[in-house]
Structure 1
């Protein structure tokens, strides 16, 4: 039967000596907790955690001021339990720069009681890199898919103007923006108006019976031919 690491401290000599783990470790972004047990009789003393390689020159990061009320300084907090004689240091959202040497200390007349703890921080996984590798276009860098352009040219529909064409037919340019996934692009020239057979209905339609080439001249020539024929017969 195994014993959970979280309950190992129950088997330590509680309230008998200043005891700390020699080394603790955590991953970047996690919450790190370190316990420090102290002897009975120091319940009302000021306990603290300081950082530095030398106990005489380390600087305090947080202290209890002899009270059981939890105290916090930035990401560091401390809590003193007088019943179990344990001081708890908590570091939220640990960073790589938090790695190093820490001391659990009890402030007293003369030389303070102090014990060293080494903190190691393991680099965490990059969430942004993981998501970018899963999603093709990303969601957190707002990486936009590539945009391609395609230009089509087509001639404008001829007009029914009576004036002679003196210039070349203009070309019209249409640019389509394509985003993946591609869709069926509009066919070049689609939508161009074509001349309809009934356009120009306001103009009278021509009829072969309305007029014919040389009509007036023929009506004048017929009587003359008849008259000449009569004169020839009479003579």
Structure 2
């Protein structure tokens, strides 16, 4: 819903990637992904105050987007920097204009088998979405 926040949980193998840089990017494909923020305190200037990444080093990192607007809808990627090829997970975010107290922000993870998760906004944020990785 417009004006709300959402939190996406991006999973990773903590034994392998605990100290790797993690990032959140926006774009239609892995190759045209624009990094909006990372776990080393980088945030693209137009997203300062709206995008926050937190890596708890327990096998997942959190991406929170604040003050959502319909234009934020689109394909995003949870990324983990690795030599030769980053590990990236697709997340489709749809933001709808709010008309009543039960509005939907839908997210879907692009995997080999499609998974669509619809969450009714009752609280301020969406909680934990499982992450599947492309190799």
Same fold, judged at TM 0.5 (above): yes
Alpha-carbon offset, residue 97 of structure 1: 0.5
Q: Deviations over 1:39-58 (max 9, x none)?
A: 12211100001100110111
Query: Is 1:64–2:39 an aligned residue pair?
Result: yes
Q: Which has the larger radius of gyration?
A: 1
Q: SS of the counterpart of 2:98? A: coil
In 2: Cα distance, 1:51 partner to 1:71 partner = 15
In 1: Cα distance, 2:54 partner to 2:19 partner = 13
Query: Equivalent of 2:55, from 80, 98, 115?
Result: 80
Counterpart position of 1:109: 83
Q: Deviations over 1:24-81 (max 9, x none)?
A: xxx111111111010122111000011001101111000013xxxx665421110001
User: What is the alpha-carbon root mean square deviation over aligned residues?
Assistant: 1.7
Query: Equivalent of 1:119, from 87, 93, 118?
Result: 93
In 1: Cα distance, 2:11 partner to 2:29 partner = 21
Structure 2, unpaired ranges of 5+: 101-135
In 1: Cα distance, 2:42 partner to 2:6 partner = 16
Q: Deviations over 1:111-167 (max 9, x none)?
A: 1000100001111139xxxxxxxxxxxxxxxxxxxxxxxxxxxxxxxxxxxxxxxxx
Checking the alignment, whether the CA contact within 8 Å between 1:71 and 1:78 is kept in structure 2 is no
Query: Is 1:36–2:27 an aligned residue pair?
Result: no
In 2: Cα distance, 1:80 partner to 1:58 partner = 20
Query: Equivalent of 1:93, from 63, 67, 72?
Result: 67
Q: SS of the counterpart of 2:23? A: strand
Higher helix share: 1
In 1: Cα distance, 2:59 partner to 2:42 partner = 17
Higher relative contact order at CA 8 Å, sep ≥6: structure 1 or structure 2? Answer: 2
Structure 1, unpaired ranges of 5+: 1-26, 127-235
In 2: Cα distance, 1:86 partner to 1:104 partner = 10
Q: SS of the counterpart of 1:56? A: helix
